[in-house]
Structure 1
Amino acid sequence: MAECGCGRSPTGNCVGWHNLSEEQFLEKKAEYEAKQAAKKSDK
């Protein structure tokens, strides 16, 4: 994966979020953060 230049990627690698509207970006970011929190609570 290529490095993210837009600053929207939560991982530092491009995940294609640069084309999303601000609303879509915030939804994706919330989904990602919820998934990461769930992973941490499973451990």
Structure 2
Amino acid sequence: MMRQKKCGCGRSPTGSCVGWHSLTDEEYLAAKMAYEKKNELRKERLKGI
């Protein structure tokens, strides 16, 4: 299995490179908001289990 590289730009929400270094500021903010929303929904679903 191939290991993911550590994030060098500081934008990754996981600490591993997810390719967000190439995004514009607007694209980065949209990706960050979508990631956070997805995590909130996941947490809410897990509470219901």
Please list every run of 5 or more consecutive structure 2 residues that lacks an aligned counterpart in the other structure: none
Identity over aligned pairs, percent: 51
Whole-angstrom distance in 2 between the partners of 1:41 and 1:15:
24
Please list every run of 5 or more consecutive structure 1 residues that lacks an aligned counterpart in the other structure: none
TM value normalised by structure 1: 0.98
Whole-angstrom distance in 1 between the partners of 2:8 and 2:40:
25
Structure showing greater radius of gyration is 2
Count of residues in Structure 1 that have an aligned counterpart in Structure 2: 43
Amino acid paired to 1:5: G
TM value normalised by structure 2: 0.86
Whole-angstrom distance in 2 between the partners of 1:37 and 1:12:
19
Structure 1 residue ranges, 4+ long, deviating more than 3 angstroms after superposition: none
Compute the RMSD of aligned alpha carbons.
0.3
